Every structure is written in C-alpha cells, then in structure tokens.
Amino acid sequence: MIKVGNNSAMGKSVNAIIYNLAFSPKIKYIDLKGVTSTDADTAEALYKLVNISGSVEFLNLDKSDVTIKLTEDFWKAVGQSKTLKYLNISTAGVAPTSNLIAKAVSMNCKKQGALKALVMENWFNNNSRWTAFQEHLKISEQDHEYWYGDRNTASKMVKEDVYNKVQYFGLEYFYVGGARSNFSGQSFRPKQILA
C-alpha cells in the first residue's frame, strides 16, 4: 500500500514513484487523493502502472488534478485490466467528457476484467453528459478491434461489426453526485443503469 495523497510537497516527484510501482508484484493499493501539480508525465506514469502492473486493485485519484489529463491509452489499460477493482476519479473542477471512461467500463466487462467499483463525483453536471455516458457504454466489435486489435482490420469491418453495439456493465458500485450533479449523492446498481 502507498498513500501519498494530500501531500503538497510531492509535486511532480510522484511520477517516478508511480512508474516504479508498476514493476512491484505486491502493490495493491495506491492513494493519490488530492495530489496537485501533476502533468502529462503523471498521466503517462499512471497509464504504465495500470497497463504493466499485475497486482494493483485500488487506485484513488479523488480530487487529483491528473484525472483531467488521463489519455486514451490509460482508459484502454483500464478496459483490459484483470486486477483493478476500484477506481476513484472524482474531480473538484470542471470534468472533461466521460466518453472514454464509459468505453473503458464496457470493455472491462466484455473482456471479463476486475473493475467492480467506480466513483465519478462531479462529472455529470447536466443530463446530456449523463446521456452521453450511457451511449458510450455501448460498444461494437469494431470499437474493440480499434482499441485492442489492428486499426487496419477495424477499418475494413462489415456493417454488423460496426453498427451492432452492445452495452456491457459489470460494475457492482457506481457513485456519481456532488454539488453540481442532478444525481447528487446517488449510487447506481447495474439494473438501474441498464434500465
């Protein structure tokens, strides 16, 4: 377990710590709650951590400014993670779109990953963002091929593989809310989000 959250002295030195933890076969719990002064290198280190680690189960990025810098590669890694069970990406500021997050949640379920709990406080400040999230939970075989296969093969896929989209959802706990949300303080169970 490592907890470096809410430590203003950490700054960008957290990058080296995260990167080196990716190679630890025993690290299961990483708490970066409230870490600020992060940059693209921090986001890259987190991508490598999730992609390489065969042990990380808990990743808390609550109110860390790195959440808005996470790349598509990070979300691809989440989508195929066999160990990550809990992810908190709550934000204190304005959140970007959640399309990649929804896709990662769906991919993780499709690929029989471990992700069971997701916390996204302050991401949904209006109904259109919520609707977009639900739409991006629907993925096609072409989406899967683009993320985990060959882009050339994906571009040549036939209509059924492109337009037949399925919504996968394996989360057992999904918390949204916050002062700016229409769903303030609500958690959703699978049946609720799939309805």
Write out pLDDT tens, residues 22-80. 777 788 999 989 887 777 888 999 999 999 988 999 999 999 888 888 999 999 999 99
Domain that holds residue 169: 2-194
Task: State the Cα–Cα distance between residues 34 and 102, nearest whole angstrom.
Answer: 23
Percentage, residues of the chain above pLDDT 70: 84
User: Which pLDDT score is estimated for 191?
Assistant: 43
User: Which pLDDT score is estimated for 9?
Assistant: 57
Average pLDDT over residues 104-123: 94
Instruction: Look at residues 116, 119, 98 and name the one whose alpha carbon lies nearest to residue 33.
Output: 119
Please answer whether residues 115 and 87 qualify as being in contact, where contact means their C-beta atoms are separated by less than 8 angstroms: yes
Please answer whether residues 87 and 146 qualify as being in contact, where contact means their C-beta atoms are separated by less than 8 angstroms: no
Higher pLDDT: 141 or 97? It is 141
User: Which pLDDT score is estimated for 14?
Assistant: 76
User: Which pLDDT score is estimated for 5?
Assistant: 63
DSSP 66: G
CATH of residue 49 = 3.80.10.10
Say if residue 113's pLDDT is above 70: yes
Query: What's the helix, strand, coil split of the chain in %, to 5?
Result: 45, 15, 45
Task: Name the average pLDDT for the chain.
Answer: 84
User: Which pLDDT score is estimated for 11?
Assistant: 59
pTM of the model: 0.85
Number of domains in the chain: 1
Please answer whether residues 58 and 29 qualify as being in contact, where contact means their C-beta atoms are separated by less than 8 angstroms: yes
Task: State the Cα–Cα distance between residues 171 and 189, nearest whole angstrom.
Answer: 8
User: Which pLDDT score is estimated for 124?
Assistant: 82
| Amino acid making up residue 170 | G
Q: How far is CA 27 from the centre of its chain?
A: 19
